[in-house]
Amino acid sequence: MRDFTYSVPWNLALITIGTGIFAFGIKAIALPHGFISGGMSGLGLLLYYLTDKLSPGQWLFLLNAPIFLFGWFGVSRRFFLYSLYGAVSVVVFMELIPWVLPVNDPWLAAIAAGATFGTGLGITFRSLGSTGGTDIIAVAINQKYNLRIGAVTFGFNLALFVVSMLFMKVDLVLYSLSTVFIAAQIMEYVLGLFHQRKMVFIISDKTEEIAAAIMRDLHRGATFLDGRGAYSGRPKSVLLTVVFNIQLKRLEQAIYAIDPDAFTIVESPMNVIGRKFSRRKVY
């Protein structure tokens, strides 16, 4: 399963599902309420509102074309091809989706659109690709100048919403800003949803027994760290282990069944890369 999650079918499946949800949010929620999204899809929606000449999907396709020419030279071929598939998928779904979500309240629509955008983008970014657009530019700049991807995206969105103020009602722009903010929070949640880990420090006089229980019962590794008690001055053995979130209660039971006086510290690491956890994501 570990190798399958990095296979071509798995990545294509994630991109297809994610872009389908993202496109639904645009076509069924944002568009009927006159909102714009972030990134290149938001610029496509703005041009659609201003001109009413082409569909939002057609605008997105035209805007993406020069970016992919740039991306061919600026990013890896694998990321380029996956992102090309993602961008085409968004356009196709936007053209095919006929539904409108029956939401009348604009705040509820903004929340629903943000949740939908975030879910779709989060699933897509679990793959080795993206939805195209500004993601291509951001990754290319990051690889060349080490400028953070989030900073590039934020800069583009800031310029987009400032310009939108000149052509759209302020209320609609503010609703749209709320949508993008909600989408960012939901996307982060979806990205970490299935890979939550806990880093645990265990201070005990029975760390040898606890380490054996962790390896035997939880099938996780552990590392001994050398410590010293600040009050007693005596050497202490500190045990470090990382477990999946659902294993935390079992770990606590194992620790305190061996040493009721053990002292534990639980942290939530940003990312865990290594054997039996995540592989390094290389675009």
Q: For 133-181, write each residue's pLDDT tens digit.
A: 887 887 777 777 777 666 777 788 889 999 999 999 999 999 999 998 8
CA distances from 20 to 13, 101, 133 (A): 11, 15, 16
Which parts of the chain sit beneath pLDDT 70? 1-6, 74, 148-150, 194-196, 270-283
Q: What is the pLDDT, as a whole number, of residue 72?
A: 76
DSSP 223: E
Nearest residue to 38 via CA among 183, 188, 186: 183
Contacts of residue 247, Cβ cutoff 8 Å, sequence gap at least 6: 198, 218, 220
Report the distance separating Cα 68 and Cα 85, nearest Å: 11
The total number of residues written for the chain in this structure: 283
Question: Do residues 210 and 259 make contact, with C-beta atoms less than 8 angstroms apart?
Answer: yes
Question: pTM (2 decimals)?
Answer: 0.74
Q: What is the pLDDT, as a whole number, of residue 29?
A: 95
Q: What is the pLDDT, as a whole number, of residue 165?
A: 92
Q: What is the pLDDT, as a whole number, of residue 240?
A: 93
